[in-house]
Structure 1
Amino acid sequence: MPNEARLILLDRDSLASLLQPDEVLEAVREAFRLHSRRAGRVFPVVREALPGGGVFGIKSGDVPDEALLGFKAAGFWPANRALGGEPHQATIVLIDPKTGRPQGVIDGNAITTLRTGAAGALGLQLLARPDSTSACVFGTGVQAGIQVDYALRLLPGLRTVRYLTHDGLRRPAFEARFEGRCDIALATDANAAVEASDIVITATPGKAALFDAAAVRPGTHLNAVGADTRGKRELPEGLLPRCRLFVDDQLQARQIGEAQWSPDTACTEIGDVLTGTAAACRQPQDITVFDMTGLALQDLTVARLVLQGAVARGIGTSIAWPW
């Protein structure tokens, strides 16, 4: 009844036990499948620059047959670093599609981190050479870390990881995170690191191309994470036309992803590979790219997962929300 309605609030600490990497991976896999079947809808993205250098965006969508509706308000506030906080901020709201009333308000930072890492993991599973043993990652932030973590979980043959920083300095804490799981060390020559790697992961603010196209050798797979706004890029000019390009959503990738720089390059949605509508059919010499811009459906399926878990286990804050 309207007067008995309640709203569940899940803060950062509440999510700690609700976000399990394997479960998030399956929720993201389902999001891509829903998108491929067009059972889930992705609404137009809002992504706008703010005074002071920040970016604010809204990603929203629904799955009508599963009564799933909601949005994520998120963006990037670089000044947060000076406050000791994370620049990426996100809040997810799940809504009852029958009434329009909110069901849950969820801290979206951890969800965004894990769902993006899981999407990258699916890209590696589907597109990277199975015999891949070496990777390089550009960036050492939250997203770079989760991308490497998932890569090591899903690719048992991955032995060597080289990372690159914007200032060329070591990040001992980043190395310590993966100690014992791989041979990890700083690389200072971007082109050499790319040339020596089977897998390249770019997880930076996406201000400019990070390496030369000629450094990418046949057989390489690239997960491009950082370009999610008009004008951002990490990959060099001339690379995408040489590649087999995979995206989460064709229109979105051409608007705000790496594909904005090569909009005429043919691309395949990763969900279509998962549903069998399209085939990856990787050849050993293929260069493959997964252009990851992030789908609202990823946020919604993972948010549903944690909200259901919270209700079942009595986690979070339940407050009266009469109408």
Structure 2
Amino acid sequence: MPGNAQLLLLDRDALAAIMTTDMVSRAVYDAFTLHGQRQGRVFPVVREALKTGGIFGIKSGDVAARALLGFKAAGFWPRNRELGGEPHQATITLFDPMTGRPSCIMDGNAITTARTAAAGELGLRVLARADSTSLCVFGTGVQARAQLSAALRALPSLRMVRYVSHDGKPDTSFENHFNSLCRPTLAADANAAVADSDVVITATPGGGPLFSLEAVRPGTHFNCIGADTRGKRELPEGLLDLCRLVADDHEQATSLGEAQWSPSVPHMELGHIVTGKSEFIRHTDDVTVFDMTGLALQDLVVGEYLYDAACHAGLGRLIPWPW
């Protein structure tokens, strides 16, 4: 009854106790399937710069058949590093679509990292060459680490891993994190690293092209994460014109992603490929790009899985929320 309504709060530690890689992978595949079948809606994204120096955004959507409604409020506050904190901040809220009442508020930081990595893994499984042996990752931060971990799961044939750091110097923390898995080495020359790689992952703040067009070789696949706001990019001019482009969402990619720089270039959506609505056959020399802007449905479906798991396990904090 309205007077007895409660709201579940799930903080970082509660989520850590129930969130697994397998759960997130299943939820993200579920989200792309819903999107490809147009059973889930993605509402227009809010993404705005703040006078504080941060960027604030809202991604929202619903799945009527599953009584799923909600949003993620998230953004990037670079000054958090000075406080010893994470610059990416996110909070997810789920609502009862029948009443509009909130049912759960959860920390979205780890969810965002995990669901983005799961999307990258799915993109590699569907789009990259299965026999890929070499990879270059741009960035050494939280998302770069998550994407490289996902790539090692998706492509067990990987043998050579190079990374490009923001200052061109070795990142011992990054190297130590992966030494037992792949022993990544610093790339002294970004163009040479791209030219020698079967897979390239760009996980940077999206401040501009990271390599030259001339470095791109036939057969290379690119997972692009950093372009998620108007004006951001990581790929060089002309690359989208010669590649086979796949986006997570048409509208978001052409307004916020790499596709904003070449909006007329034809592309498919990953959800249409995984549901069979679009046929994708990779040829050996194809250059492929997965333009990842991040779907609200990824956040909401992962949030739904976690909410159900928390309720089943009795985790989190219930607080009165009468109306």
TM-score range, shorter chain: over 0.9
Give distance in 1, aligned partners of 2:260 and 2:179. 37
Per the alignment, residue 252 of structure 2 pairs with 252
Partner of 2:146: 146
- Kept in 2: contact 1:24–1:118 (CA 8 A): yes
Q: Secondary structure at the match of 2:173?
A: helix
- 2:57 maps to which residue? 57
Matches of 1:318 and 1:161, distance apart in 2: 45
Query: Which residue identity does 1:308 align to in structure 2?
Result: D
The percent identity for this pair of structures is 63
CA distance in 1, matches of 2:278, 2:3: 49
Q: 2:219 maps to which residue?
A: 219
Matched residue, 1:235: 235
Q: Deviations for 1:115-148, whole angstroms, at most 9, x for unmatched residues?
A: 0000000010000001001100000111000000
Alignment of 1:9-88 (within 5 A): 9-88=9-88
- TM-score, normalization by structure 1: 0.99
1:196-246 per-position Cα deviation (integer Å, ceiling 9, x unaligned): 100000000001000001111000000000000000000000000100000
Q: Matched residue of 1:268: which SS?
A: strand
Query: Once superposed, what is the RMSD of the aligned Cα atoms?
Result: 0.7
Unaligned runs of 5+ in 1: none
Q: Provide the secondary structure at the position in 2 that maps to 1:222.
A: strand
Q: Which residue of 2 aligns with 1:316?
A: 316
Cα drift, residue 4 of structure 1? 1.6
Whether the aligned pair in 1 keeps the contact of 2:140 and 2:165 (CA below 8 Å) is yes
Q: Does 1:176 align with 2:176?
A: yes
Contact 2:19 2:306 in 1 (8 A): yes
Distance in 2 (CA, whole Å) between partners of 1:259 and 1:176 is 35
Displacement of 1:165 after TM fit? 0.8
For 2:64 and 2:179, locate their aligned partners in 1 and report how far apart those are by CA, in whole Å. Answer: 45
CA contact under 8 A between 2:116 and 2:294: conserved in structure 1? yes
- Does structure 2 retain, via aligned residues, the 8 Å contact 1:70–1:95? yes
Distance 1:53 1:265 in 2: 33
- For the pair 1:275 / 2:275, whether they are aligned, the reply is yes
**Displacement of 1:152 after TM fit?**
0.7
Superposed displacement of residue 53, structure 1: 2.4
Q: Which amino acid aligns with 1:119?
A: A
1:167 alignment partner AA: D
1:242-299 deviations in Å (ceiling 9; x for gaps): 0000000011100000000000100000000100001220000000000000000000
Alpha-carbon distance in 2 for matches of 1:17, 1:55? 30
Deviations 1:160-181 (A, max 9, x none): 1111111111111111111121
CA distance in structure 2 between the partners assigned to 1:188 and 1:31 by the alignment: 38
Cα deviation code 1:88-141 (max 9, x no counterpart)? 000000000000000100000000000000000001000000100110000011
Query: In structure 1, what residue type is equivalent to 2:203?
Result: A
> Which residue number in structure 2 is paired with residue 263 of structure 1?
263
The whole-number CA distance in structure 1 between the counterparts of 2:181 and 2:299 is 29
The equivalent of 2:166 in structure 1 is 166
SS at match of 2:57: strand
Q: Distance in 1 between matches of 2:160 and 2:177?
A: 14
Helix, strand or coil at the partner of 2:149: helix
CA displacement 1:28-68 (0-9 Å, x = unmatched): 01111101111000000000011132110000000001100
- Whole-Å separation in 2 of the counterparts to 1:160 and 1:320: 53
Matches within 5 A, 1:123-138: 123-138=123-138
The answer on whether the counterparts of 1:159 and 1:183 sit within 8 Å (CA) in structure 2 is: no
For normalisation by structure 2, the TM-score amounts to 0.99
CA contact (8 A) 2:175 2:183 kept: no
Distance in 1 between residues matched to 2:181 and 2:165, nearest whole Å: 21
The separation in 2 between residues aligned to 1:226 and 1:67, in whole angstroms, is: 32
- Structure 2 distance, partners of 1:52, 1:4, is 39
Structure 2: gaps spanning 5 or more residues:
none
Deviation at 1:183, TM superposition (A): 3.1
